[in-house]
């Protein structure tokens, strides 16, 4: 399998959709094939989500790029990801921010992601097993938060972990279809922008969906 050629094709396709070329440059440094099961590797550079086991998925590259772009990272941020999955999104955040904390509720996925990230040399990413409270309060406040599972509403537990002027990107809607929201936390009011429709697996937890 010629991963280089497949990757080049994907980035040509994403280039038309994504304005922030730093995001694309970061994504082009991360080998997506290392984050998917062996049997999915030939599809690693298709622009679509892929199964990673335990009924979970690695997100579609275009959605990863859109979510990352909306976080407006400049290199000095502390970022929280909720939903480590394969670790792919965390690696991209690790390329663009100072420090990343990523939480995953399924220990098998967390361990596998941690191993992949360690093997690729990322030392600015901490993988945590999710606790009852969404996110990771010990590391708060964060400059940016990305939630890579669909929530029924914007969880206040997560908003509280975001700095003033910080950005949170989160899919909100039903179990099967969501809208991607970008929320900028204000002193008094938050600004919410709808980035369009998407489809994510469910965010499970006290301030989200039941299992």
Q: Which stretch binds ligand SAM (CB under 6 A): 3-11, 166-174, 180-188, 195-203?
A: 195-203
d(CA 16, CA 60): 16
Task: Return the half-sphere exposure (C-beta side, CA atoms, 13 A cut-off) of residue 37.
Answer: 12
For residue 21 the two structure tokens come to 């070329």
d(CA 106, CA 126): 15
Residue 85 in the binding site for ligand SAM (CB under 6 A):
yes
3-state helix, strand, coil in the chain (%, to 5): 35, 30, 40
Inter-CA distances, 138 with 131, 135, 141, Å: 11, 9, 9
Q: Which of 28, 59, 86, 174 is catalytic?
A: 59
Residue 92 C-beta: closest distance to ligand SAM, Å: 8
Q: Verify whether residue 59 is a known catalytic residue.
A: yes
Using alpha carbons only, how large is the chain's radius of gyration in Å? 16
Touching ligand SAM, residues 88-107 (CB under 6 A): 88-89, 103-106
Residue 180 in the binding site for ligand SAM (CB under 6 A):
no
Site string for ligand SAM, 23-42 (x = CB under 6 A): --------------------
Residue 175 C-beta: closest distance to ligand SAM, Å: 12
Q: Which residues bind ligand SAM (CB under 6 A)?
A: 56-59, 82-83, 85-86, 88-89, 103-106, 109, 130, 134, 148-149, 200-201, 203-205, 208
| Residues catalogued as catalytic | 59
């Amino acid at each position: 399998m010629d991963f280089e050629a497949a990757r080049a094709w994907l980035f040509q396709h994403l280039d038309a959709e994504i304005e922030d070329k730093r995001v694309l440059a970061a994504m082009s440094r991360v080998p997506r094939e290392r984050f998917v099961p062996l049997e999915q590797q030939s599809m690693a550079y298709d622009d679509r989500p892929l199964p990673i086991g335990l009924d979970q998925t690695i997100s579609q590259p275009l959605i990863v790029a859109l979510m990352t772009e909306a976080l407006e990272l400049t290199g000095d941020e502390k970022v929280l990801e909720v939903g480590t999955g394969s670790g792919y999104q965390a690696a991209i955040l690790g390329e663009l921010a100072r420090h990343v904390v990523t939480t995953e509720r399924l220990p098998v996925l967390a361990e596998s992601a941690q191993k992949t990230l360690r093997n690729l040399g990322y030392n600015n990413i901490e993988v945590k097993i999710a606790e009852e409270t969404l996110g990771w309060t010990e590391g708060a406040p964060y400059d940016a938060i990305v939630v890579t599972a669909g929530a029924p509403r914007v969880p206040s537990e997560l908003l509280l972990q975001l700095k003033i002027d910080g950005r949170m990107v989160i899919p909100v809607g039903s179990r099967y279809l969501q809208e991607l929201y970008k929320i900028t936390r204000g002193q008094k009011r938050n600004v919410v922008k709808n980035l369009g429709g998407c489809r994510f697996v469910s965010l499970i937890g006290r301030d989200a969906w039941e299992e």
